Structure 1
């Protein structure tokens, strides 16, 4: 026990004799303007520097990196510039000169001779060499709602026309469609969002006027639910059409067994020793 007390006292004495180290306080200095990091000072004594230790941080300044270019314009590739010029011509129903393209669409053909040549040679663009103007060439020539009505009338026996097919023909096509629909001159099938999908010419000869009494009776009729339809038909003395059950999608049709021809080795034992070149004589 005495030995343990002596060891403890000696340990405490050695611990008290250890030097006290003061933690250094690091404070940043003003930036040096260099790219190798800011300067810092420490409270550690340094007789050569008035008791202040000066050092530079090892951490490098982070550089801002962009995953995409900040310029989100049309790009500088010649094909992107060509597409932009064609799309701009679509918005105009009149021919545009080189000056018009530069002023209205910020398309400078004089500074880009390659773009000028590609635009001239494009199959969807008409270039008037005499006047020096460009105009978009649509699939259908439509300049007014009367032109649209005339095309739909010519195609009346071929069904309706897709709105997307006509969209690039006239910049005010959507407005003309709504006007003709309100006038009852065309019929429009719309998407769920209300935009036109298919256009039909409305033949006024089939617009038969009906009395209000018949219209009210028509709208008052209600179709029976599918579950109760069979019962309602039986009450009216009508028989419903017989339905035959079909095989489920999981039942595969039975396949006929494939007959495979087994290879059999045939030996002509009865012809053994027969020389056809000598023993066989063709009869004339």
Structure 2
């Protein structure tokens, strides 16, 4: 390479290093000083309407579930009335009330007119736990109407005689004021059994006239004989060997329906009505033609 060019190249590098250079700094993303202030957006009609609505709840947002006029709000008012009427009946206050009195005692006087009309015309009259009287008042309607312990005992006795079994404790609690005191006063005349399926308590009438005093020795003998692996036929044979008579089932036995036999394809026999013409009629079949001898079949 030409040495003159090399000398010029080295001189150019020295001049370039000696000349100071100024770099423009790029603005960073978090440098807000270089940005222009944003223009404020004009409030829209939707934001103005939403800001004018009342806000409920801890978060400050609008809660549509508890807002007056919604179905959730209506049913919450109805549930509060039903629970109050039930508790009131259980405490012995069974006199009817007007709708305004119920709303006053449940502290719900701020309900809307539409909700009040819905309660008075649809919700309360059609509810199975509330009864509307002819004078327009409402009263709680339990499954069983009982005033005292004697009414409870009569109801349990009636269920026992009709073979209906017992009554759930929750139904007694719903219809009998101060039910615990009444059950305690009846003592051993009422039996309380807990169902193993749903753990609900059931009350039964304890009929003492049907109780029998059996000697303990007989009870031990009865429990000592195991009949788990024996059917009715084996028990019957055992009693016959021991010379013990037993009661047989005298009920009418229904005979099983007999199946109809399927009818086969039988050849139908047709009755001939021209037997008297046997000597006159001529057989034109192949066999008859051969017998005649003079007729050929094509």
Query: Shorter-chain TM-score: which interval?
Result: 0.3 to 0.5
| Structure number with higher strand proportion | 1
Greater RCO, 1 or 2 (C-alpha within 8 Å, sep 6+): 2
TM-score (norm 1): 0.45
Q: Considering only CA atoms, is the larger Rg found in Structure 1 or Structure 2? A: 2
TM-score (norm 2): 0.44
